[in-house]
Structure 1
Amino acid sequence: MTYKGYLIDLDGTIYRGSEPIPAGKRFVEELQRCNLPFLFVTNNTTRSPETVQERLAKMFDIHVAAETIYTASLATIDYMKDAGRGNKVYAIGEAGLIDLLLAAGFVWDEEAPDYVVVGLDNDVTYEKFAIATLAIQKGAMFIGTNPDKNIPTERGLMPGAGALIAFMETATQTKPIFIGKPEAVIMEKAVQRIGLSKEEVLMVGDNYETDIRSGINNGIDSLLVLSGFTPKEAVPSLPVAPTFVIDSLDEWEFDR
């Protein structure tokens, strides 16, 4: 079938760390040429959409509007607004999460917040965990931005947001509400943002556990590109096959 819109992962799909994936740039440019709507759906909460937009332009010569970038931070805010529990929040995270929460009208509260949001924080401290733990014990809703246990870096696999969230889950004996891929929240919100039905969009990514699972688990067709996390040798033994598997985004035919 011909898809009317695309939900696309970034790292490992459009670029790899600080290394360009030329096929990723060509893929985006072909979408723009065909006037096909697309949304970059990323679990990264450390950068704002504007920061991601600038990075794409400066490092990879990919020029898109900030509105095409949907982070787990934005999905978290959308979820909190729907939940309607109040506007007080405490968060463990970086500027790409905290600045957006405050800009969306939430008020910082360390004593009795309505929500505790935990994302990746490279400067996390025991005291931050302590404040969050006490707030959850008092009844704050516990939200985890995304379940990624590790993030790939030049140093190797480093602790991800999921590792910090697991710490909090142990400390509070409370299960979080997860927002990011492969959870339903971010995918439902992304489909709403792009203005199409699930049947009309394709989820494109390199990581079976997050990108492809987000499609499989939520009734959205998926395209696994073997340019990043999931290796080719793993494909035959995947528990549920992606809708499509390709070695490079250059192989994709938009009018299939």
Structure 2
Amino acid sequence: MEVARTQRLMTTNSWLTDMDGVLVREESVIPGAARLLEIWRDRGQKFLVLTNNSIYTPRDLSARLARSGLKVGENELWTSALATAEFLRDQAAGHRAYVIGEAGLTTAMHEAGFVLTDNDCDYVVLGETRTYSFEAIATAVRLIEGGARFIATNPDTTGPSPHGPLPATGAVAAMISAATARQPYIVGKPNPMMFRSALNRIGAHSETTAMLGDRMDTDIIAGMEAGLATLLVLSGVTRRDQVETFPFRPSAVMESVQDLVNLLEMPGPDGSEKG
């Protein structure tokens, strides 16, 4: 069974990969990450780097990764902000939105054709920001009570900072939900909706695409529910001893992306590289 699951991984020709804990860790490139992207590009394999972080635009993220030593183009990044804006545009249920978030989300919403306003809104869209304010939360509550649909980019309850965890989108969403008795529709991981929009973005099919991630509770379950092969790397959040505690399994488990690079560079029966 394990051989069959790994075999599907080896027939992959498109890839979705998480960013933090897979390609980078605390702004340092994980060994093998740069080579993996190089292999995919050399072989003409489509890929996208995914992140639930909605703060940054793809241009910002590309520049941040470049400073870490990892070359990722703007068109090779897919954020929860982009997925949220695309989802709402496809809903075609109005184009006015009140947005709590940073440039990554506001830019994506603008580019999707939305008017950002604080009155007569079709949607309240909550994303990541370092400047949550009581006034903004109160406005969101008022608009949701008035009939606006409640959307959140991702469910993460905390985010990292130099001084320790900070309240993140999920925590603020819980506050708004408590005040309105309305639960948000969350677009980002672990909702497989984000993966399906990423597949559409690169014109890939789930049967020949794999998800590379470091979290069983987001990357792997969402990849599985989207019909992808899944590869868990142990360089991030999930530890090996935790894998068996989940009622589902990834297609393969590896220590890091370096193991995947080693596998892809192994010669096939004819002496050529696999993949």
Report the TM range for the smaller structure's normalisation.
over 0.9
Aligned match of 2:106: 98
Q: 2 CA distance for matches of 1:52 and 1:224?
A: 23
Find 1:19's aligned residue among 14, 21, 28.
28
Percent of aligned pairs sharing the same letter: 36
Shift of 1:229: 0.7
Higher gyration radius (CA):
2
Give the aligned partner of residue 30 of structure 1.
Answer: 39
| Deviates most, 135-144 or 103-112 | 103-112
Task: Report what 2:267 is aligned to.
Answer: none
- Is the Cα–Cα contact under 8 Å of residues 119 and 165 in structure 1 kept in the other structure? no
Output the CA distance in 1 between the equivalents of 2:71 and 2:101. 27
* Pairs within 5 Å for 1:132-171: 132-171=140-179
Is 1:240 aligned with 2:248?
yes
Displacement after TM superposition at 1:154 (Å): 4.2
Secondary structure of the residue aligned to 1:196 is coil
Q: Which amino acid aligns with 1:9?
A: D
Alpha-carbon distance, 1:162 to partner: 1.1
CA RMSD of aligned residues (A): 1.5
State the aligned residue count. Answer: 255
SS of the residue aligned with 2:136? Answer: helix
Question: Partner letter of residue 26 of structure 1?
Answer: R
List alignment gaps of at least 5 residues for structure 2. 1-7, 265-273
* Contact 2:89-2:113 within 8 A present in 1 as well: no
- 3-state SS of paired residue (1:11): coil
Q: Structure 1: which 5+ residue stretches go unaligned?
A: none
Residue 205 of structure 1: CA displacement?
Answer: 0.8
Q: Which residue of 2 is the match for residue 107 of structure 1?
A: 115
Stretch deviating more after TM superposition (104-113 or 174-183): 104-113
* Matching residue's letter, 2:74: A
Q: In the TM superposition, what is the alpha-carbon distance from 1:156 to its structure 2 partner? A: 3.6
The aligned runs of 1:3-18 (5 Å cut-off) are 3-18=12-27
| Partner of residue 82, structure 1 | 90
Secondary structure at the counterpart of residue 183 of structure 2: coil
Tell me if structure 1 keeps the 8 A contact 2:231–2:253: yes
Say whether the 8 Å CA contact 1:182–1:217 is kept in structure 2.
no
Task: Give the Å deviation of 1:153.
Answer: 4.1
| Secondary structure of the corresponding residue to residue 116 of structure 1 | strand
Asked whether 1:55 is paired with 2:27, we answer: no
TM value normalised by structure 2: 0.88
